[in-house]
Amino acid sequence: MELEEIKLKDYLMQKESGNLMVNAKQMKLERSLRPAGVATTPDGKLRFGDSIMLYNYQSECFLAANPHEAITTKPDEAMACTTGPNVNPCLRNVFIIERADPADGFEGETLHYGQDFRLASLPSLKDETVYYMHSEIFSPLAESKFSRKQEVCWYSKPNGRTLWQVVFPDPKERFEANGLEVPANAAIVVMHVHTRRPLASDRIVYQNIFGTEFEVHAHNYSSLNKTQNLVSEKKGEITADYDLRRLASANIWELVARTTGEAAAEGAGPGLAETQ
């Protein structure tokens, strides 16, 4: 009887201190899923410093960081990147748009097509450290976990490999769109500057502490339809050039922000309309 009392006392002590495995997991989940604010844009435009969510058309999920899964092949701290089904803005799926270079030649504080930017995590996600969406040339030390494509992760140091651009999804209008302001809640492509590979999320299952999510990587899901390419070539389009091929839904995203007034009426996909 005395032994049972000791075991019970030990169990209660561990439960109160949060040392039990179930409690530890719950605490991790609660920290990462704490609510976070999303920027409101009165005119439908995105600005540097805005907090946004990033929605993928193929996985139908939101970009997320996992502070409980370290990427150990990097010289500095890094964490895993996935898309997850949680539609509620929280610490792990809300990110800040940061201007890469104040002297980049673009006027104002709005984000433009073809302008370099960084996507940064909220500092309170992990140890008040900002992590940046990062990718690099594919190698055995830089490959995605399941598909073995070009790895995308969250990295604790900003550098040339954390630079991205928003490009217009329709290749026929991409050149003309460069320099225009990027609207919130519109279909876009997020291009990695260093490798010229677009951000992607296919429905490749990625199990983690948060449940079933999907892998994120950098890969060009261009149309490989020969008939479509022949038709395009007859029109004078060079289909061998990846930039002229229409990208698949795995490469299509939305930068999601709250909108008001007419912007709310025009918002696409999962845009968050501001409630009064």
For 148, the domain range is 33-271
Where b means 16+ CB within 10 Å and e means fewer, 171-185 reads beebeebeeebbbbb
Q: Tell me how far apart the alpha carbons of residues 160 and 1 are, in angstroms, rounded to a whole number.
A: 65
How, if at all, do strands 117-121 and 258-259 pair?
Answer: unpaired
> CB under 8 Å to 32, separation ≥6 — which residues?
66, 67, 68, 90, 91, 92, 125, 210
Where b means 16+ CB within 10 Å and e means fewer, 105-120 reads ebeeebbbbbbbbbbb
Q: Is residue 22 part of a domain?
A: no
Q: What pLDDT does 192 receive?
A: 98
From 183-192, 241-250, 251-260, 263-272, the region with the lowest mean pLDDT = 263-272
Q: Is residue 3 part of a domain?
A: no
Q: What share of the chain is helix, strand, coil (3-state, %, to 5)?
A: 20, 30, 45
Q: Is residue 26 part of a domain?
A: no
The kind and range of the H/E element at 233 are: helix 226-234
Whether residue 201 is predicted with pLDDT greater than 70 in this model: the reply is yes
Residue 64 sits in a domain whose CATH number is 2.80.10.50
Q: Is residue 205 part of a domain?
A: yes
- Across 220-231, average pLDDT: 62
pLDDT in tens, 16-71: 555 555 666 778 788 899 999 999 999 999 999 999 999 999 999 999 999 999 99
- Across 172-182, average pLDDT: 95
The kind and range of the H/E element at 21 are: helix 21-32
- Across 160-189, average pLDDT: 96
Domain count within the chain: 1
Please, is 160 exposed, middle or buried when counting C-beta atoms within 10 Å of its C-beta (0-12, 13-18, 19+)? exposed
Token code pair at residue 238: 């060079």
Q: Is residue 240 part of a domain?
A: yes
Q: Is residue 17 part of a domain?
A: no
CA distances from 249 to 131, 163, 185, 197 (A): 26, 22, 15, 15
Q: Is residue 10 part of a domain?
A: no
Q: Is residue 254 part of a domain?
A: yes
